[in-house]
Amino acid sequence: MNSDNVVEELERGGVRARFARVEHLRSVQDDIVTLLKEGSLDRALYEEYLSGHDYRVPETFPEARSVVIAAVPSLPSKVVFHRGGRAFETLVPPTYADAKEVDEKVLCIMKRVNQGAKFQRIHLALKTLAARTGLILYGRNNIGYVPEQGSFHRLTAFLTDIEVEEDSWGERGVLPACSSCRKCLDACPNKVIVEDRFLVQAELCLTYLNERPSDRPFPEWVQMNAHNALVGCMICQSVCPYDRKVLGDLGRGEVFSEGETALLLGGRYDEMMAIEIDRKLSKIGLDRTLFPRNLEALLALR
């Protein structure tokens, strides 16, 4: 059973995928290092998110011959909080929830197709890998787009001992429709998408700022009306014409009672209620480190 069979079976399960030979992993590393050296990639952001990645074949898996990168559909989730007798609805963008479930789905399909193959999850610059294989095209907002899925997907990658004679490795592509569209550029509240560079200024992006622990306040220059999601940011995706074509009904997330909302805003937790709060947050891929700051910012707009 070869890589083409695996890709075909993944696509039957609604998962888009590409294979690349392991030699290309160094090219992914080179891409990231180049961005860092030329100053396009903020060093603090690199240290926090990318510096721990290892692009070598692990000593524990010397027989690895290729890497498979997969994009699994993932929609934003609606989350409801209650305060003062009223319900407040907000969003959690794709990619935060269901990490374990996504990995298990992809792995289960691949093992079913080729029961003799070995697979090992790897952690690296997945978006760069996906773009180099042609799995995604970059949008003007620097988010990856998959045909028919738009930007609403979660990426995962596995090393495997499956041999790949030819792959689709190439330069990173850009979504053609972006050449005549400025919607995300005009809508971005922090102006991180600019005309004269391919990479967005991610260190200024609300997504990056929203993922910091709650004890690190938002910079003073962040406008309060920029807040739009419980974590991350949905503005550039919500105005994107391509995403509007593929966005279906949003998945329902968790509902937090008046008491649970009050505890999240107060930062103090009854032990039993904290267990229930943690259970709900884990189902949407979050934890209490983002509270009360993120929730306070959203409720201040209501």
| Stretch 86-97: mean pLDDT | 91
- Give backbone dihedrals phi and psi of 264, rounded to 5 degrees, phi first: -65, -40
pLDDT at 250 over 90: no
- Look-up: residue for tokens 């993120």? 294
pLDDT at 244: 86
Reading the block at residue 162, the tokens are 């499956």
Domain ranges of the chain: 3-299
Predicted confidence band at 95 (pLDDT cuts at 50, 70, 90)? Answer: confident
> What pLDDT shows up at residue 245?
81
Separation between Cα atoms, residue 113 and residue 98, nearest integer Å:
23
Helices then strands, each counted (H, E), the chain? 12, 9
pLDDT of residue 165: 84
Chain centroid to CA 194: 21
Angle, to 10 degrees, between the axis of helix 25-37 and the axis of helix 126-133? 120
Burial 178-191 (b: 16+ CB within 10 A, else e): beebebbbeebbbe
pLDDT digits (tens, 9 = 90+) for 133-172: 999 999 999 999 998 789 999 999 999 999 998 899 999 9
Q: What is the DSSP string of 136-201?
A: -EE-TTS-EEBTTTBT-EEEEEEEE----S-----PPPB-GGGGG--HHHHH-TT----TT-SS--
Between 126 and 249, residue with greater pLDDT? 126
At 64, is the secondary structure helix, strand, or coil?
Answer: coil
Is 80 exceeded by the pLDDT of residue 241?
Answer: yes
User: For 14-66, how does the pLDDT look when each residue is reduced to its tens digit (9 = 90+)?
Assistant: 999 999 999 999 999 999 999 999 999 999 999 999 999 999 999 999 999 99
Given a cut of 90, is residue 209 above it in pLDDT? yes
In angstroms, rounded to a whole number, what is the distance separating the alpha carbons of residues 112 and 8? 12
The structure's pTM equals 0.92
pLDDT-derived band of residue 2, with 50, 70 and 90 as boundaries? confident
The rounded distance, in Å, linking the Cα atoms of 224 and 129 is: 35
Look-up of token digits 């319900």: 87
3-state secondary structure of 115: coil
DSSP, res 22 = G
Where does residue 122 rank: exposed (0-12), middle (13-18), buried (19+ CB within 10 A)? buried
Q: pLDDT confidence of 251, banded at 50, 70, 90? A: low
What confidence score (pLDDT) does residue 1 get? Answer: 58
Structure token pair of residue 99: 């990490």
pLDDT confidence of residue 161 = 96
Cα–Cα nearest to 126, from 234, 61, 32:
32
For residue 123, is pLDDT > 90? yes
Q: What is the mean pLDDT of residues 103-126?
A: 93
Structure tokens at 92: 């959690």
